[in-house]
Amino acid sequence: MQNKYLLSIDYGSQSVRALVFDHHGQLIVKVAQQVSPYNVVQLGWAEQDVDYCWQQVCLVLRKLWSQTNITPSQITALTITTQRNCVINLDKHQNALRPMIMWPDSRRATKFPKLKPWWRLAFMVVGMTKRIRYFQGESELNWIAQHEPNVYNNTDKVCFLSGYLNFKLTGELKDSVASQVGFVPFDYKNRCWGNKHNWQWQAIDIKPSQMIEVIEPGEVLGLVSPSASEATGLINGIAVISAGADKACETLTATAASTHVASVSLGTAATINITQTKYREAFRYLPAYPSLTEQSYINEIILQRGFWLLSHFIEQYGEADSVKAKSLGISTEELICRAIADIEPGCDGLLLQPFWAPGVIYPGPEARGSIVGFTPDHSRLHLYRALIEGILFALKQGLERLSKIAPETITVIRISGGGSQSDVVMQMAADIFNLPCERVQTFETSGLGAAIACAKGAGIYQSIEQGAKAMVKIGRRFEPSEQAPIYQDIYRRKSKNLYRYLKPFYNKY
């Protein structure tokens, strides 16, 4: 294995990164290519040209060979991880029929297939009719069927961004079971496309024949094709290994396949996840997603607008902060995280509920963001801290729900994403969760998780779980401080029930 490395390609919301790891999990080289996140053709839309995405992958790999001492011959195998729920319609020649609809997109279908009478009755009995209709409205495929019939009629296959990039690398239209997160008819319990009787096939305008082949993480998807070799510089015939979507990879790295560890991601979206070997749902009809670990599942609570909110508030109110940060040579987020350390826990009564984007199950489709408790004494620093506290409080409530189905007691939280880079945020997390919070050895947690799957596929480890135990190293640990009891009191008396109190107001919209 001397000088033989694993290559992870991580296509994120702001950049695509080529990450070279050794089989111990050490990050050897990182090269990044900034990308345009998406195009806003109309208000609320988020689209991107799929050929643009492939070109960015080619560019970052060319930079890897030209700007570092890594050579293509040193790569044993490679894998790819991407954002989830980025939907692509392909014709019979595997050409994209329209730009990819990305996960931040907020357009909704208003016409969709009717469920069979027995399904309508079943959902009415369990009180899920409104949520199932919301699910149907959120489906990008239903929107296309309603508004773009030419695209709908010429669609031969549907895939996510990960599947498309795998195809561009290998010429084979395949993807990982751990990448199938979105409004598609996937049977998460059995880790395959649903059988013809599943209600999702009636709820979404799609046929089983239009779905692509999916395989387990750690298996070979295909080999780098001659055309991909020419475009990227990769060696022709090198193995491309199945990994999973970004959150699945992050969760593997954060938990190291352990069931007593919860994974928190403080990225553009904020999530809290646990891993277990049995299929259990935290909320009815909120699926447990396939884990990268063999025959395991991830339970997830997600805030679609996580630390995106901090960037949004900076854009709206933080011009002075941005100017000051630039003069100091640091990011605005870093400046703010330093400044809010002087604000007392609870922000003098200011509470923020971070549901800027609703959900299907939790939060529900009626959810709205809210800020409660403003006084003339509050500054924008109070607002910044309340925002971070609000995200962490919401994730704490998610942890309470997940703990009811966890196979063992959660004793530690491992945190990744941009927010984890701040010591102030990490300490706030430890105090709000009232549990030790740890970083892993690299901020490139998605890339490392993908590399672990790659190591298994390359034959370095016998299983992904074995690879995780060997390749994940733990960084700094933050213990709950004297402020933890203050946060527990705020959570119990105010934050925990805020959504329930405000829900009647949301339902009026």
Question: What are the tens digits of pLDDT across the range 79-92?
Answer: 999 999 999 999 99
- Considering the domain architecture, whether residues 443 and 464 belong to the same structural domain is answered as yes
- Considering the domain architecture, whether residues 191 and 333 belong to the same structural domain is answered as no
Structure tokens at 412: 């530690």
Range of weakest confidence among 104-108, 321-325, 359-363: 359-363
**What is the rounded CA–CA span in Å between residue 175 and residue 195?**
19
Q: Taking a C-beta distance cutoff of 8 angstroms, is the pair 11, 168 a contact?
A: no
Structure tokens at 401: 């729900």
pTM value is 0.92
**Partners of 265 in the β-ladder:** 271, 416
- Considering the domain architecture, whether residues 176 and 66 belong to the same structural domain is answered as yes
Residue 187 lies in a domain: yes
- Considering the domain architecture, whether residues 111 and 157 belong to the same structural domain is answered as yes
- Considering the domain architecture, whether residues 320 and 261 belong to the same structural domain is answered as no
- Considering the domain architecture, whether residues 98 and 210 belong to the same structural domain is answered as yes
What percent of the chain has a predicted confidence (pLDDT) above 70?
A: 99
Identity at 362, one-letter amino acid code:
Y
What's residue 171's pLDDT? 97
Residue 2 pLDDT greater than 60, yes or no:
no
What percent of the chain has a predicted confidence (pLDDT) above 90?
A: 83
Cα 373 to chain centroid, rounded: 31
Residue range of the domain that includes 357: 308-397+484-506
**Parallel, antiparallel or unpaired: strands 261-266 and 270-276:** antiparallel
Q: Which of 241, 268, 289 is the last residue of a domain?
A: 241
pLDDT tens by residue, 138-153: 999 999 999 999 999 9
Question: Where does the pLDDT of residue 126 fall: very low under 50, low under 70, confident under 90, or very high at 90 and above?
Answer: confident
Range of weakest confidence among 15-29, 59-73, 238-252, 296-310: 296-310
- Considering the domain architecture, whether residues 182 and 314 belong to the same structural domain is answered as no
DSSP string, 50-92: HHHHHHHHHHHHHHHHHHSS--GGGEEEEEEEE-S--EEEE-T
Residue 70 pLDDT greater than 60, yes or no:
yes
**What is the rounded CA–CA span in Å between residue 254 and residue 264?**
8
Instruction: Name the helix (H) or strand (E) containing 338.
Output: helix 332-339
Residue 331 pLDDT greater than 60, yes or no:
yes
Helix axis angle, 464-471 relative to 445-457, nearest 10°? 130
Question: Where does the pLDDT of residue 503 fall: very low under 50, low under 70, confident under 90, or very high at 90 and above?
Answer: confident
What's residue 441's pLDDT? 85
Question: Where does the pLDDT of residue 508 fall: very low under 50, low under 70, confident under 90, or very high at 90 and above?
Answer: low
CATH number assigned to the domain comprising residue 471 = 3.30.420.40
Q: Domain count for the chain, please give it.
A: 3
**Distance set, CA 68 to CA 303, 362, 424 (Å):** 37, 45, 34
**Mean pLDDT, rounded, for 99-117:** 93
- Considering the domain architecture, whether residues 158 and 44 belong to the same structural domain is answered as yes
Q: Phi and psi dihedrals of 143, rounded to 5?
A: -65, -45
CB atoms within 10 A of CB 138: 21
Residues in CB range of 117: below 8 A, 6 or more apart? none
- Considering the domain architecture, whether residues 90 and 108 belong to the same structural domain is answered as yes
SS3 37: coil
pLDDT tens by residue, 393-427: 999 999 999 999 999 999 999 999 889 999 999 99
Residue 402 lies in a domain: no
End-to-end CA distance of the chain: give it in Å, rounded.
60
Structure tokens at 32: 């990044």
Residue 469 lies in a domain: yes
Residue 92's Cβ-count burial label (10 Å; 0-12, 13-18, 19+) is exposed
pLDDT tens by residue, 154-184: 999 999 999 999 999 999 999 999 999 999 9
- Considering the domain architecture, whether residues 371 and 312 belong to the same structural domain is answered as yes
Residue 173 lies in a domain: yes
Cα 67 to chain centroid, rounded: 29
- Considering the domain architecture, whether residues 170 and 29 belong to the same structural domain is answered as yes
What's residue 40's pLDDT? 93
**What is the rounded CA–CA span in Å between residue 391 and residue 282?**
19
What's residue 506's pLDDT? 84
Residue 403 lies in a domain: no
Residue indicated by tokens 């529900």: 364
- Considering the domain architecture, whether residues 156 and 55 belong to the same structural domain is answered as yes
